[in-house]
Each structure stands twice: as C-alpha cells, then as structure tokens.
C-alpha cells in the first residue's frame, strides 16, 4: 500500500505533515487492560489540563482552526477531530470504550494533543490518499446506509473514489472503520512541521505500544511537502 498527499494539499497547507503507523496482525477481539489504563490516564490528564482553559484557544488546537480556515471551512461549524475530542473530555464526558485499537489511538491522541485516525487496511482496495474531492467520489457517514457526495475540491482522505474522511479531519466514514475483526490498521497522525518532533514522538509511542501490547508487525513513516508519499 501507499499513502500519498496531493500537491494541492501542500499548496493550501505548506507546513502540514503526517506521521504514519501501519500495524499488521492485531487481535482486536478481546479487551486489553493495558489499553484501558492508557486511555484512563489520558482522559484524566486532559480533564485536568483543560479544566480552566478554552479548548479552541489552546496553542495545540489553534493551528488546526487556522488550517480549517485556510481550507475554506468555518472551524466553529466544522470542528476538527482533535478539537472535538478535547472539547468532550474537557467537559468531563470522558470517552466510550470502543475496541482496543480505537482506544489506543485515542489514548495516544490525548497524550500528545494530536489527531490520530485509524483505518482498516483489510477494507482497502487501493492506495490511501489525501487530495481534493472530485466528481464520482462518495462518502458514507457513520451509521448511515445512504452515501453523500463531498463538495468538489474539499480535502479528503480517500481510497479510490470512496472517501474515508471528509473535510480533512472532520468526520470519518462508515467504510474502513475499525471493528473487532480488524487485524491490519493504518494510523495517520496529522500535524504541522513546527511541531514535527511531537508528531514523530506520538508516532513512535503508538508504534511501541502496538508492538508491546499486540505483538504485531509495525512499520512507520513520515510525509511532508518534501516527501509527499510513503510506501509500505
């Protein structure tokens, strides 16, 4: 598989970068106490850190709001996944336990204040890309059976013509979501070059947890404007 970012994305967001973790051979069918502990610790730390702060004004969140504006999106209407995550946790709502893979991604996301996606490689029949949406692309929202059509030019995560995440990191699709039978996972970590060391630290931490907890095969990568794709 290949993960590639189109030139149009870097034209709009010159400093955007991506840490990548690909983990294969995970058993996602059983609860994992180590993951539960990591998630609980992440929630507690986030609640404490954001209790007296406005999430949308936090230095780690502001770059995503500015990026959404640069992409022509109102961040108050279309909240980035990382802002939505911390907004929920800061209000004391915690996070639901979904399954070990998703919970581990959320735990690392909370620790490093970075958006981390998770996509089932077993449901991919082509490379995964970030590019402007085009005619023929479709998006199936979570929990829905009827697809919708993204706006042409909207930045999307996509496999072939099936959009996996609309409006960059706004909303993920029903397609490629992580279920109990998922064994092979693509984790993107979306960040910015000024925060590159944090992106790489989150990538390496996630990779280490995948190896230690699941005993699986793991590969890592990094994509930015100078290296716009990585192959696994």
Task: Give the pLDDT band of residue 169 (cuts 50, 70, 90).
Answer: very high
Per residue in 66-93, pLDDT (tens digit) is 999 999 999 999 999 999 999 999 999 9
**Strand 119-120 versus strand 229-231 pairing type:** unpaired
Rounded to the nearest integer, the mean pLDDT of the chain is: 96
Distance from chain centroid for Cα 108: 11
Does residue 230 carry a pLDDT above 90?
yes
Per-residue pLDDT, 49: 87
């Amino acid at each position: 598989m290949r993960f590639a970012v189109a030139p149009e994305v870097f034209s709009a967001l010159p400093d955007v970068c991506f840490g990548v973790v690909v983990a294969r051979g995970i058993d996602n069918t059983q609860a994992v106490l180590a993951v539960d502990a990591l998630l609980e610790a992440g929630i507690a730390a986030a609640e404490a850190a954001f209790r007296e702060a406005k999430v949308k004004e936090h230095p780690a969140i502001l770059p995503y709001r500015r990026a959404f504006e640069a992409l022509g999106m109102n961040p108050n209407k279309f909240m980035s996944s990382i802002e939505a995550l911390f907004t929920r946790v800061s209000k004391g709502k915690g996070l639901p336990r979904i399954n070990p893979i998703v919970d581990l991604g959320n735990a690392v996301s909370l620790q490093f204040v970075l958006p981390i996606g998770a996509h089932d490689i077993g449901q991919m029949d082509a490379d995964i890309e970030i590019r402007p949406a085009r005619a023929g692309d479709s998006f199936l929202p979570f929990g829905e059976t009827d697809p919708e059509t993204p706006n042409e030019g909207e930045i999307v995560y996509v496999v072939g013509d099936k959009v996996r995440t609309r409006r960059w990191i706004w909303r993920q699709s029903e397609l490629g979501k992580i279920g109990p039978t998922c064994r092979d996972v693509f984790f993107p970590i979306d960040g910015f070059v000024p925060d590159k060391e944090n992106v790489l630290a989150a990538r390496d931490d996630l990779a280490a947890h995948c190896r230690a907890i699941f005993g699986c095969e793991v590969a890592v990568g990094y994509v930015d404007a100078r290296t716009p794709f990585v192959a696994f």
